[in-house]
């Protein structure tokens, strides 16, 4: 086996790339040629808005070393006057430079070496050894440059420079982050190799007995002579070989050739939400008897359709899409992607019963799609938030003419093997939907999409294509079929998708006969986690219009967390779900949003800097409505009561309970029953209005008189202790893995102090770092990157990242007047 060496600033970084003798592999890892290695470590970074020229930046001495993925905006201060605006989270963009010095083994001089960036926000330009490789305005799509013609081999250094220009603001309606915020890879291949995103695997016929698997492989010959080669594709289920097929090809010099191979898989194990079973295709190219390239593609076998009567059918079964929209930021980590952080978000959502993710409003990090494949989510993969017509002054609309074809094509090629993707969305609330350009562009995008993938339907997240008008803060809907939305009327879409207007869903069949429906975006409920107006229906002062000044709301821009506050264009959580639940033909919904995100606060004004829309807050702590969904969407037995139990004596407090699997709930205050409640009809919660009395509030759910669950909350005394709980107490010592540690502020009896907002200081011993702190408070301007943070309503989060050696990581938290707490995390 050959060993290739890359040198990082003189430090050897071993990478195993092999040339292995021919022989069709029988185990997946037997003979794999690993062509891709991480190129994330030891970059130098310099932020400087005034130096715009590569030759000048080359001489700057103010570089700092870091690993990518990196987001420089999250390191900055929240700034009321930031040109990014509140939409952008009041965090600045700017112009950043990255560079990295490395060596390439002499043996690789006969190979093809490329660099792949999974996403750089935005306007990246790349030079290798002074040679310009290119520019990519779109921050969300991956791109690759071949470097081999310009590389030095052996003992000589190479220098790569990346300019990232996110200085023109605003260019996004939400927080984008800035920099090389996704992974970077080096790919080294023989001159004859599978091309970039070079396989396309479809399963045209799927039955319980048999599935046909069609593999299209694009092979690139970069030799200056024609080559005769053998291409073998082996399909694995887990580690066992299922089938393989071989084809001999002759491929002319400097050309690409696409070959098609097809096989039958007997009794296929189908991909589903509950059991997301994956297969792997390993494509191997052999030349003159030697294996020269291996390329791995994960795929799934599943059969689905969107039906006008039955909604979404997966493997013959009706499945309601219970989805959420997600932006790409990871709360306190900003937009620098981390696989574990995405996985944690998905775990929290899965636990709530979510089975769908909409990648609003851009191509996501590849790792999100890989996780959705493995964890079982129904993904709506979205391409654009705007077409040519801008939404903000410097956004992608300015790049549309030159780049949209390439960006969409690359997204399709990159993503089309993911079994979790079930729909392509060609845009979100596109301004052209109201004029004829909408028809032309929708048709063009649909044609591009169908050129690369005919196996999935196309939709768009339109504004409601039915008549409506904004009357003060209320939308008025005319329920008659008035299809004046040009995209909807263009015929380009396979599924009608629109945002909000749940009042109109039941008229869909009349409005759009014969075409299925998906609620692409719903709800936009607003809540601050753990904050409540004691009497839930006195909050009519909310909502405020996003585009009006905030007047007369709650102090400090808090929003009561009973499910009663919504953006004027949306609904409460319960209202939309009740409609979706009722009608079979409604395929499902994607709620705005699963998690809070940075930017787009509503109220759209200082001091708010992050959103209130999430069912889960920015730190990852569920708001109460999470349990409404859990009671409806999962098999778990649920009984959740809200609010907390710290109020003024005698004041009326509304107590809500979310429950399932029971026919009644009885509430006891200090041992005395205050009544039995049952959900009637479409109800999704029950409520008691009772005068507050300190002590214990206990709820008991019962079915046929037998206790199903009991839960209680108690009045907390003064904050006294800190408690630390890690989501994982053993993490990988790979310099990347994370432990998310929850800090609870408790009274001396161990009851959560629901109003505590102490400032907490953190320190860490051992080879690791504190990489994020966050309370989920949308008005906090404390840095997420510090080592102290103020709790919100008794809770805070601290994120620990391992170093690259194993050992103990000891985290201590301290706050004035409270007993400190320590927790040990093991990195191994």
Residue 466 CB, nearest approach to ligand GAL (Å): 16
Residue 506 CA to residue 492 CA, distance in Å, equals: 22
3-state secondary structure 173-198: CCCCCCECCCCEEEEEECCEEEEEEE
Active-site positions? Answer: 429, 521
Structure letter (DSSP) for residue 495: S
Residue 707 phi/psi, 5-degree rounding, is: -65, 130
Residue 326 CB, nearest approach to ligand GAL (Å): 11
Residue 474: burial class (beta carbons within 10 Å; 0-12, 13-18, 19+): exposed
Residue 414 structure tokens = 């990159």
Structure letter (DSSP) for residue 752: B
Residue 558 structure tokens = 């808090």
Nearer to ligand GAL, 429 or 744 (CB): 429
Nearer to ligand GAL, 415 or 521 (CB): 521
Residue 359 CB, nearest approach to ligand GAL (Å): 12
Residue 299 structure tokens = 């795929």
Nearer to ligand GAL, 13 or 460 (CB): 460
Residue 44 CA to residue 40 CA, distance in Å, equals: 11
Residue 603 CB, nearest approach to ligand GAL (Å): 12
Nearer to ligand GAL, 137 or 570 (CB): 570
Residue 487 CB, nearest approach to ligand GAL (Å): 14
Residue 433 CB, nearest approach to ligand GAL (Å): 12
3-state class (DSSP) for residue 488: helix
DSSP letters, 31-78, are S----EEE--S-EEEEE-SS---HHHHTT----EEEPSS--SGGGS--
Residue 487 phi/psi, 5-degree rounding, is: -70, -45
Q: At what angle do helices 366-375 and 339-352 cross, to 10 degrees?
A: 40
Query: Nearest CA to 229 among 251, 244, 200?
Result: 251
3-state class (DSSP) for residue 405: helix
Nearer to ligand GAL, 521 or 596 (CB): 521
Nearer to ligand GAL, 373 or 385 (CB): 385
Contact 361, 384 (CB under 8 A): yes
Contact 774, 789 (CB under 8 A): yes
3-state class (DSSP) for residue 573: helix
**Cβ neighbours around 616 below 10 Å, total:** 24
Structure letter (DSSP) for residue 567: -
Contact 227, 286 (CB under 8 A): no
Residue 139 CB, nearest approach to ligand GAL (Å): 16
Contact 364, 382 (CB under 8 A): no
Nearest residue to ligand GAL by CB is 524
Residue 676 CA to residue 682 CA, distance in Å, equals: 18
Nearer to ligand GAL, 567 or 726 (CB): 567
Residue 568 CA to residue 543 CA, distance in Å, equals: 7
Residue 546 CB, nearest approach to ligand GAL (Å): 7
Residue 744 CA to residue 580 CA, distance in Å, equals: 36
Residue 593 CB, nearest approach to ligand GAL (Å): 8
Nearer to ligand GAL, 138 or 417 (CB): 138
CA angle in degrees (0–180, nearest 5) for 766-771-775: 120
Query: Nearest CA to 107 among 37, 12, 222, 18?
Result: 18
Nearer to ligand GAL, 294 or 499 (CB): 499
DSSP letters, 644-657, are -S---TT-EEEEEE
Residue 356 CB, nearest approach to ligand GAL (Å): 16
Sequence-distant (6+) residues with CB within 8 A of 428 are 360, 361, 382, 384, 385, 460, 461, 499, 520, 521
**Cβ neighbours around 232 below 10 Å, total:** 20
Residue 695 CB, nearest approach to ligand GAL (Å): 39
Q: What is the CA radius of gyration of the chain?
A: 28
Residue 772 CA to residue 753 CA, distance in Å, equals: 23
Nearer to ligand GAL, 100 or 327 (CB): 327
Residue 381 CB, nearest approach to ligand GAL (Å): 16
Contact 458, 492 (CB under 8 A): yes
Q: What residues make contact with ligand GAL under the rule CB under 6 A?
A: 173, 428-429, 499, 521, 524, 567, 592, 600
Residue 549 structure tokens = 């000044």
Nearer to ligand GAL, 171 or 499 (CB): 499
Query: Nearest CA to 242 among 196, 277, 192?
Result: 277
Residue 250 structure tokens = 């002759």
Nearer to ligand GAL, 524 or 528 (CB): 524
Query: Nearest CA to 230 among 23, 33, 18?
Result: 23
Residue 598 structure tokens = 């940075």
Nearer to ligand GAL, 114 or 463 (CB): 463
3-state class (DSSP) for residue 755: coil
Bin 168: left if φ > 0, else alpha if -120 < ψ < 50, else beta.
Answer: beta
- Per the DSSP assignment, residues forming a β-bridge with 556 are none
Residue 613 CB, nearest approach to ligand GAL (Å): 6
């Amino acid at each position: 086996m050959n060993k290739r060496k890359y040198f990082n600033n003189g430090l050897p970084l071993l990478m195993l790339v092999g040339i292995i003798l021919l022989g069709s592999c029988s185990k997946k890892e037997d003979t794999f040629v690993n062509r891709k290695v991480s190129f994330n470590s030891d970059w130098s970074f310099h932020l400087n808005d005034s130096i715009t020229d590569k030759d000048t930046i080359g001489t700057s001495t103010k570089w700092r070393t870091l690993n990518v993925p990196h987001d420089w905006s999250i390191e900055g201060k929240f700034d009321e006057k930031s040109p990014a605006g509140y939409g952008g989270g009041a965090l600045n963009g700017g112009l950043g430079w990255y560079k990295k010095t490395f060596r390439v083994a002499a043996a690789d001089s006969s190979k093809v070496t490329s660099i792949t960036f999974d996403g750089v926000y935005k306007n990246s330009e790349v030079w290798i050894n002074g040679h310009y490789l290119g520019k990519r305005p779109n921050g969300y799509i991956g791109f690759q440059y071949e470097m081999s013609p310009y590389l030095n081999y052996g003992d000589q250094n190479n220098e790569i420079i990346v300019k990232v220009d996110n200085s023109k603001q605003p260019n996004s309606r939400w927080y984008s982050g800035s920099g090389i915020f996704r992974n970077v890879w080096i790919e080294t291949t023989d001159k004859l190799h599978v091309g970039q995103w070079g396989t396309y695997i479809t399963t045209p016929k799927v039955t319980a007995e048999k599935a046909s698997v069609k593999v299209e492989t694009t092979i690139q010959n970069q030799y200056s002579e024609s080559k005769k080669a053998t291409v073998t594709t082996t399909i694995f289920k887990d580690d066992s070989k299922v089938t393989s097929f071989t084809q001999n090809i002759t491929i002319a010099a400097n050309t690409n050739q696409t070959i098609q191979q097809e096989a039958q898989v007997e009794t296929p194990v189908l991909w589903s939400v509950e059991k997301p079973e994956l297969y792997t295709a390993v494509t191997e190219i052999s030349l003159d008897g030697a294996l020269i390239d291996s390329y791995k593609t994960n795929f799934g076998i599943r059969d689905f359709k969107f039906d006008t009567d039955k909604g979404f059918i997966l493997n013959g079964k009706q499945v309601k899409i219970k989805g959420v929209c997600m932006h790409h930021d990871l709360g306190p980590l900003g937009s620098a992607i981390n696989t574990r952080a995405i996985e944690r978000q998905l775990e929290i959502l899965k636990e709530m019963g979510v089975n769908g993710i909409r990648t609003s409003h851009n191509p996501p990090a590849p790792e999100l799609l890989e996780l959705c494949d493995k964890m079982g989510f129904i993904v709506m993969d979205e391409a654009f938030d705007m077409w040519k017509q801008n939404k903000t002054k410097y956004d992608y609309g300015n790049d549309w003419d030159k780049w949209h074809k390439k960006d969409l094509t690359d997204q399709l090629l990159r993503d089309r093997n993911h079994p979790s993707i079930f729909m392509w969305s060609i845009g979100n609330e596109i301004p052209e939907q109201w004029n004829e350009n909408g028809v032309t562009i929708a048709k063009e995008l649909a044609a591009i999409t169908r050129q690369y993938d005919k196996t999935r339907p196309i939709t768009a997240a339109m504004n409601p294509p039915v008549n409506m008008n904004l009357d003060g803060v209320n939308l008025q809907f005319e329920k008659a079929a008035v299809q004046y939305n040009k995209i909807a009327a263009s015929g380009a879409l396979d599924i009608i998708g629109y945002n909000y207007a749940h009042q109109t869903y039941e008229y869909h069949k009349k409005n759009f006969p014969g075409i299925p429906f998906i609620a692409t975006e719903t709800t936009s409920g607003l809540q601050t986690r753990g904050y409540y107006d004691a009497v839930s229906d006195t909050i009519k002062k909310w909502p405020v219009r996003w585009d009006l000044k905030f007047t007369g709301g709650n102090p400090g821009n808090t929003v009561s967390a009973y499910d009663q506050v919504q953006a004027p264009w949306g609904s409460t959580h319960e209202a939309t779900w009740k409609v979706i639940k009722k009608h079979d033909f409604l395929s499902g919904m994607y709620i705005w949003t699963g998690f809070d995100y940075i930017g787009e606060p509503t109220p759209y004004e200082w001091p708010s800097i992050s959103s209130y829309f999430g069912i889960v807050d920015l730190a990852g702590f569920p708001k109460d409505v999470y349990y409404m969904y859990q009671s409806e969407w999962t098999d778990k037995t649920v009984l959740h009561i809200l609010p907390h139990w710290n109020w003024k004596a005698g004041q009326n407090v509304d107590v809500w309970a979310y429950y399932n699997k029971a026919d009644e709930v009885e509430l006891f205050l200090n041992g005395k029953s205050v009544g039995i409640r049952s959900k009637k009809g479409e109800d999704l919660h029950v409520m008691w209005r009772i005068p507050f009395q300190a002590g214990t509030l206990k709820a008991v759910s019962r079915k046929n008189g037998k206790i199903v669950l009991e839960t209680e909350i108690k009045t907390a005394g003064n904050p006294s202790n800190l408690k630390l709980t890690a989501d994982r107490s053993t993490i990988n010592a790979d310099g990347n893995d994370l432990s998310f540690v929850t800090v609870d502020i408790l009274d001396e009896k161990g009851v959560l102090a629901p109003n505590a907002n102490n400032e907490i200081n953190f320190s860490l011993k051992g080879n690791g770092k504190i990489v994020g702190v966050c309370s989920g408070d949308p008005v906090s301007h404390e840095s997420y990157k510090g080592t102290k943070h103020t709790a919100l309503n008794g809770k805070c989060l601290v994120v620990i990242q391992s170093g690259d050696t194993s050992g103990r990581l000891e985290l201590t938290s301290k706050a004035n007047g409270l007993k400190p707490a320590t927790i040990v995390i093991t990195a191994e």
